[in-house]
Amino acid sequence: MQLVTFGDLIWMTSAAFLTFCIFSFLFRDNPFYRFAEHLTVGVSAGYWIAILYHTSLTDLWLEPLGASFKALGHPEGSIIAKIGVILLNLTPGLLGLLMFSRFFSKTSWISRWSIAFYLGISCGVELPLFLQSFVVRQVAANMIDPRAIFSVMGADLTVLFNYGNSTLLFWQGFGQLIILVGSMCGLAYFYFSAEHKGFMGGAAKIGIWILMLGFGATFGYTVMSRISLLIGRFNYLIGWVSAIGDYFRI
Amino acid sequence: MTQAFWHKIMDIDRRWIYLVIGIVTFVPMLRYIGMPVQITSEVKSVYDRIESLQPGTIVMVPMEFDPATAAELQPMSRAILRHCFSRNLKVLSTAFMIDGVVLIENDLKVIAAEYGKVYGKDYVYLGYKPYMEVVLLNMGENFRKPFPKDYYGNKLDDLPMMKGVNNYSNLACIVNVNGTSGADFWINYANGRYGAPLALGVTAVMATDYYAFLQSKQIFGLIGGLKGAAEYEKLIGRNKDIANRSMDAVSVAHVFIILFIIIGNIAFFATGREKRI
């Protein structure tokens, strides 16, 4: 049984060729790289239009709009309400069409209405929730009573010294202390209304060290991420070579 | 002589480094060694939560990645889907990254078929809708608002799995696999506004940003990058799946990058560059 068809092989080979085109940029900029880059942009634009038309424009605008016009033909219901529904359904489409005014310099200002509408809604909805999720809850998570941390750490040490085994709560408490001190010192580094001298200077210095540790962790993760992407492409190329082998029964 | 050597190191053409990294990444992929992968508590808690659910409950697995981040997130989402289907949980999925819509659809189909799951009864794919924040808010009210139909054009009420499933409150939990800043929206809206239990699977680049939300218990678990995916594969007993097989290459490449950093720093100081800054 042939697992890989000739059609599959053509597509896989095209993808492998484009992968090599992109990799060629590592040597230097060249026409192959630019071909692959432009192809990606072009294909993406076409693909986006198709997906947006089929999964958004039709069922979120065209169909409800068509249904509201159809409802005009039915005798039941108030005509004013029906016209209201039509206007409501027309509005998002009209706002969308206004965006095309950007193509003409004289009318491009009209597109700001759509943008303003979207920005207004986004700000109104997002601001209170953002404050709650990204500020209040983060601050609350750092409001730890240091006495509680020290008592847990002390209890764990007592167990360790008396019975020779640890519940590891010491290290958990130690971690919480680092978070507590790190947050305070990190904030101290970004407090510019007092000169970074004496106690403030010391706290800011610890703060910068904590930030550096954070950047280091992010750098390590970024390296892993980039290597993972390279591995992804290599995995593809290995699969492509084995598909060629399967097809030609090498 | 030594100075000349370090100067040469400092002026080395970066393409040699690319070549070395390419070779040391590629070679370990040819033969699986199986370097150890340690399970972390943040990944285990996602596994434990799914493991604790009763068969038939619905888990939402929104997948927001495209070919650019698929290398990291596809193994992760596949492992999560396999875990859910093997536990006979129902899966509701979306794709808010437009380039990944078909990629994710294909994964769902293939993995559901592995476990003999039926579309509409055991899993539903809602597909893509633009303006994610608005969609997430609307899903908190009713899935039918942003998604009158699923990806295939079926009305949600016609799908047996969606009968009586209206919003986040009908889900056991959400495990969002995300390669974009859209993860913030899930924290902000699904968890922040509607209190849905949320876990994140993110690219390694993003992982450090989201540990803060783990500590504040806004998310109950975090799977970071290919390493996280490898841990999850190991937890579900699939030690030879793609993420685990790739970890050998990751480890070897990391060793070389650390070596390069050390050599680079030695060369930097040996050539007295610090005086010229």
Mark yes or no for CB contact A230/B254 under 8 Å: no
Mutate to test the interface with A, among B250, B255, B256, B258 (most CBs of A within 10 A): B250
Probe site for chain B from A183, A227, A242 (most B CB atoms < 10 A): A227
Give B202's strand partners. B178, B224
- Indicate the residue type of A32: F
Pick B250's closest partner by Cβ from A118, A134, A224: A224
| Residues A139 and A151 sit within 8 Å (Cβ to Cβ) | no
**Yes or no, beta carbons of A59 and B187 under 8 Å apart:** no
Q: What is the mean pLDDT of residues A38-47?
A: 94
Contacts with A235 from chain B: Cβ below 8 Å:
29, 71, 242, 246
Percent of chain A exceeding pLDDT 70 equals: 99
pLDDT average, residue stretch A78-93: 92
Give the closest of B98, B129, B188 to A130, CB-based. Answer: B188
Structure tokens at B95: 């794709």
Where would I find the beta strands (DSSP E) of B44-181? 58-60, 63-64, 90-94, 123-127, 173-178
pLDDT by 10-residue block (mean), chain B, 277 residues? 84 93 93 89 97 96 94 96 97 94 95 96 95 92 94 94 96 96 94 96 94 94 96 94 93 95 92 65
Q: What is the pLDDT of residue A125?
A: 86
Res. A182: pLDDT tops 80: yes
* Residue of chain B with shortest Cα separation from A213: B208
**Of B179, B63, B79, residue with least CA distance to A225:** B179
Q: Which helix (H) or strand (E) holds B138?
A: helix B132-141
- Contact at CB, B71 and A228, closer than 8 angstroms: yes
pLDDT, one tens digit per residue, over A128-168 is 999 999 999 999 988 888 888 888 888 888 888 888 777 77
Q: What interface predicted TM-score (ipTM) does this complex get? A: 0.89
- What is the DSSP code string of A175-233? HHHHHHHHHHHHHHHT--SS-S-HHHHHHHHHHHHHHHHHHHHHHHHHHHHHHHHHHHH
DSSP string, A13-49: HHHHHHHHHHHGGGT---HHHHHHHHHHHHHHHHHHH
Tokens 């690219």 appear where?
Answer: B203
* Lookup result for tokens 């209890």: A155
What are the structural domain ranges in chain A? Answer: 6-127, 142-247
Quote the tokens at residue A48. Answer: 């986006």
Q: What is the largest CA-CA distance in chain B?
A: 79
The separation between the first and the last C-alpha atoms of chain B, rounded to the nearest angstrom, is 24
Q: What is the pLDDT of residues A216-245, one digit of tens each?
A: 999 999 999 999 999 999 999 999 999 999
pTM of the predicted protein model:
0.89
Regarding beta strands B58-60 and B173-178, do their DSSP bridges make them parallel or antiparallel, or are they unpaired?
Answer: parallel
Residue of B208, B226, B250 lying closest to A218 (CB–CB): B208
3-class DSSP state of B78: helix
Among A27, A133, A230, the residue with its CB nearest the CB of B25 is A230
Q: How far apart are CA B230 and CA B214, in angstroms?
A: 20
* Closest C-alpha to B102, from A43, A227, A58: A43
Q: What type of residue is A230?
A: L
pLDDT on residue A3: 75
pLDDT at B274: 56
* Tens-place pLDDT, residues A107-129: 999 999 999 998 998 888 888 99
- Contact in structure between B249 and B26 (CB atoms under 8 Å): yes
> Over chain A, what is the mean pLDDT?
90
**Burial call B234-271: b when 16+ CB within 10 Å, e when fewer:** bbbebeebbbbbbbbbbbbbbebbeeeeeeeeebeeeb
Answer yes or no: are the C-beta atoms of A77 and A71 closer than 8 Å: yes
Residues of B in contact with A39 (CB under 8 A): none
Q: Which of B154, B205, B214 to mutate to test the interface with A (most CBs of A within 10 A)?
A: B205
Whether A55 and B21 lie within 8 Å, measured CB to CB: no
By Cβ distance, the residue of A55, A134, A140 closest to B129 is A55
Buried-exposed string B60-89: b where 16+ CB fall within 10 A, e elsewhere: bbbbbbbebbbbbbbbbbbbbbbbbbebeb
How many other C-beta atoms lie within 10 A of the C-beta of residue B54? 9
Q: Measured between alpha carbons, how far is residue B53 from residues A163, B85, B90, B91, B93 in Å?
A: 38, 12, 11, 12, 18
Q: Measured between beta carbons, which residues in chain A are less than 8 angstroms from residue B94? A: none
